[in-house]
């Protein structure tokens, strides 16, 4: 009982100390430089943007601004920043909790034809290579904007978050637009009653901006060894998309996963099993009601069984349940899902999309 009280006390302290989920101070860049701190759109003073420190070719972009004949889109409010040649922005967050996992989310838009990558990092950091080079692709939403999330372990109560475009470009003004940077403390996932999987319904995950309608990309493991999707790993090379019920159709609850990269990405979870015992893996397959049409196929793996579940999508939302019965061949079973095919939205935006997975349950079967 005493132990339980102490645990509860710690939980309460954690909540009280943790940063409020949502925007970082001036994370939408609505507070900007004075006219005297800019030359054209380039910011000339490293402390001109309140709460941020900048370096390199950073531009302050107002909604409606054009470059050539291209409109530079600003997703929220009136302003965004652009990180050009060797440019970074960084900020201190003074009220995180040492030892807690967080996810950082931000909106980005690519503005140049060439490949752009952003180095996202947090310090202090005792883990080697705990930074990510995230490709700025914007091929997943129709709006010209996408969001990324990135998970990390806070290793102090005060941290510094940095977004850096390390490229030395032909055109120094080339580089991604960034807006809306938010932080969310991730809850440790637990196994609910009647499900051996953690976070099987994906309700716990990165922050989704309430006003954006394009979900949040979760990068693969190779870029992020602390998945912002508690319990799950994003395997292989490409991101998956975390979607919300406010802007998409999700089979259950408020959140689900859209497999937007065909066979190039899979979500997986490793779970303790008893060798020789029979289990049922049950899940929903559907579409997000985002004009993603066609014959879809989800592959589910467990034990040494693969189940292929076809789903005909009219792009208007809907789902079906599927069940894979398998016998565990090891003490640890990897449960895995991927989309066999690549899909593109039928709205001529050229953006990638795919089937939705949700409400994944694993149970032991007593009398198979």
Ligand X SMILES: *[C@@H]1O[C@H](CO)[C@@H](O)[C@H](O)[C@H]1NC(C)=O
Residues that bind ligand X (CB under 6 A): 19-20, 25, 76, 94-95, 98-99, 119, 121, 131, 133, 155-156, 164, 166, 210-211, 304, 329
Q: State yes or no: cis peptide before 124, omega within 30 of 0.
A: yes
CA distance 120 to 314: 37
Smallest distance from ligand X to CB 124, Å: 7
Q: How far is the CB of 360 from ligand X (least distance, A)?
A: 22
- Give least dist CB 215 to ligand X, A: 16
Residues forming a β-bridge with 163: 89, 120
**What do you get for the CA distance between the two ends of the chain, in Å?**
39
Residue 343 Cβ, how far from ligand X at the closest point, in Å?
Answer: 29
37 versus 119: smaller Cβ distance to ligand X:
119
Name the minimum Å distance from CB 86 to ligand X. 10
| Closest CB to ligand X among residues 314, 365 | 365
Count of C-beta atoms within a 10 Å radius of residue 223: 18
**Minimal distance, residue 213 CB to ligand X, in Å:** 11
Q: Using the minimum distance from each CB to ligand X, give the nearer residue, 70 or 270.
A: 270
Nearer to ligand X, 45 or 158 (CB): 158
What are the φ and ψ backbone dihedral angles of 3, each rounded to 5 degrees?
-60, -45
User: Closest distance between ligand X and the C-beta of residue 11, in Å?
Assistant: 15
Per DSSP (E only), the strands in 167-304 are 177-185, 216-218, 233-236, 240-244, 255-258, 265-272, 278-287, 293-302
CB nearer to ligand X: pick between 5 and 94: 94
Q: Cβ closer to ligand X: 145 or 311?
A: 145
Nearer to ligand X, 18 or 290 (CB): 18
Shortest distance, position 26 Cβ to ligand X, whole Å:
10
Query: Residue 76 or 358: which CB sits closer to ligand X?
Result: 76
- Cα–Cα dist 180/157, whole Å: 22
- Alpha carbon 207 to its chain centroid, in Å, reads 8
37 CB-side CA count, 13 A: 15
The torsion angle over the Cα atoms of residues 114, 150, 267 and 278, rounded to 10 degrees, is: 170
The CA distance from 311 to 308, in Å, is: 10
Residue 37 in 3-state DSSP? helix
Strands (E) across 63-215 are located at 66-67, 70-71, 79-83, 87-93, 101-109, 117-123, 131-135, 146-153, 159-165, 177-185
């Amino acid at each position: 009982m005493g132990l339980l009280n102490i645990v509860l006390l710690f939980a309460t302290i954690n909540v009280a100390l943790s940063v409020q989920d949502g925007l970082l101070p001036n994370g939408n860049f609505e507070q900007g430089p004075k006219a005297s701190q800019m030359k054209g759109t380039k910011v000339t003073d490293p402390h001109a943007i309140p709460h941020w420190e900048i370096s390199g070719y950073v531009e302050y972009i107002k909604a409606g601004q054009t470059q050539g004949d291209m409109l530079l889109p600003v997703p929220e409010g009136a302003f965004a920043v652009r990180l050009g040649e060797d440019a970074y922005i960084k900020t201190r967050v003074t009220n995180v909790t040492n030892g807690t996992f967080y996810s950082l989310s931000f909106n980005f838009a690519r503005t140049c034809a060439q490949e752009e990558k952003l180095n996202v990092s947090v310090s202090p950091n005792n883990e080697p290579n705990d930074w990510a080079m995230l490709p700025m692709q914007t091929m997943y939403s129709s709006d010209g904007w996408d969001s990324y999330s990135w998970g990390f372990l806070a290793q102090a109560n005060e941290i510094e978050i940095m977004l850096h475009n390390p490229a030395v470009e032909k055109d120094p003004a080339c580089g991604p637009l960034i807006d809306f940077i938010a932080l969310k403390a991730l809850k440790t996932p637990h196994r609910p009653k009647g499900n051996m999987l953690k976070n099987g319904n994906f309700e716990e995950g990165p922050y989704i901006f309430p006003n954006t309608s394009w979900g949040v990309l979760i990068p693969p493991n190779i870029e992020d060894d602390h998945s912002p999707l508690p319990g799950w790993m994003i395997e292989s090379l490409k991101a998956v998309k975390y979607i919300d019920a406010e802007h998409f159709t999700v089979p259950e609850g408020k959140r689900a996963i859209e497999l937007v990269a065909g066979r190039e990405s899979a979500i997986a979870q490793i779970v303790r099993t008893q060798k020789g015992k029979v289990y049922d893996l049950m899940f929903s397959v559907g579409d997000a009601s985002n004009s993603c049409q066609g014959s879809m196929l989800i592959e589910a793996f467990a034990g040494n069984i693969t189940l292929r579940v076809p789903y005909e999508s009219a792009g208007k939302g809907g789902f079906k349940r599927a069940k894979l019965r398998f016998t565990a061949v090891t003490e640890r079973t990897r449960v895995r899902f991927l989309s066999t095919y690549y899909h593109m939205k039928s709205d001529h935006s050229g953006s990638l999309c795919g089937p939705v997975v949700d409400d994944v349950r694993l149970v032991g079967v007593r009398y198979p």
